[in-house]
Chain A
Amino acid sequence: DTGVSQDPRHKITKRGQNVTFRCDPISEHNRLYWYRQTLGQGPEFLTYFQNEAQLEKSRLLSDRFSAERPKGSFSTLEIQRTEQGDSAMYLCASSIMTGPQETQYFGPGTRLLVL
């Protein structure tokens, strides 16, 4: 079991550029989540997928953000026209729906710095 992996681990970009992050969940996990964490705060929910369907998006996910999970396996999170306020750790988690209290397994995150 290789766990949840995220790529890249760090990204520095200039304001206005587009960035894309990738998340590879634990194989056979049908749920995949994206969270964002800023310094000193707990992670905040952004969106989640069940298989390839995106079932909920947070208000935090502005129209500059888009997430996909095309074949129900890996997922990408794209931020267009980045702003300095987008600087944060972006965390991916996956789970398998075994009941109402399934455990989420988190990746190490992608740290984004927008200059």
Chain B
Amino acid sequence: DAKTTQPNSMESNEEEPVHLPCNHSTISGTDYIHWYRQLPSQGPEYVIHGLTSNVNNRMASLAIAEDRKSSTLILHRATLRDAAVYYCILREVNSGGSNYKLTFGKGTLLTVNP
């Protein structure tokens, strides 16, 4: 899988928006951008994914740059429960038309201040 670059850590205040950046300058046309997060002492959980267009779901929004070389995960109103490590992952579709493993980097540790 292609590599991603994320800041090691970020801080936010409760009830404020958070923008978590991810650079993926070597992304290929078939790579999807996925975000997972890992709360303390838990396994990772899926947040959102997209290919080219911006995406919204109940947890977050994903803004994808026009050239797809970067993306931003947006938490509209951070809560204390959003404190976690956020992973930006590229998943490519293999020659068989599917993919499987997730390749995690170190992610961004988000601290939310009350």
Q: Which of A101, A105, A108 contacts B91 (CB 8 A)?
A: A101
| A45 contacts B103, C-beta separation under 8 Å | yes
Determine the interface band of chain A, counting residues with CB < 8 A from chain B: 20 to 34
Determine the interface band of chain B, counting residues with CB < 8 A from chain A: 20 to 34
CB of B4, distance to nearest CB on chain A (Å): 11
Smallest CB gap from A40: residue in B: B106
**9 closest Cβ pairs, A-B complex:** A42-B104, A106-B43, A45-B101, A103-B46, A100-B93, A43-B104, A106-B44, A100-B98, A91-B43
Contacts of A101 in B (CB 8 A): 32, 34, 49, 91, 99
A24-67 near B? 1/0 per residue, CB < 8 Å: 00000001010100001111110010000001100000000000
| 20 pairs from A and B in contact (CB 8 Å cutoff) | A33-B100, A35-B102, A42-B87, A42-B105, A42-B107, A43-B44, A43-B102, A45-B102, A56-B101, A101-B32, A101-B34, A101-B49, A101-B91, A101-B99, A105-B45, A106-B42, A106-B43, A106-B44, A108-B42, A108-B43
A interface residue numbers (CB < 8 A to B): 4, 31, 33, 35, 40-45, 48, 55-56, 91-93, 97, 99-101, 103-109
Asked if B97 CB lies within 8 Å of chain A CBs, one says yes
Interface SS of B by simple majority = loop
Contacts of B44 in A (CB 8 A): 43, 91, 93, 104, 106
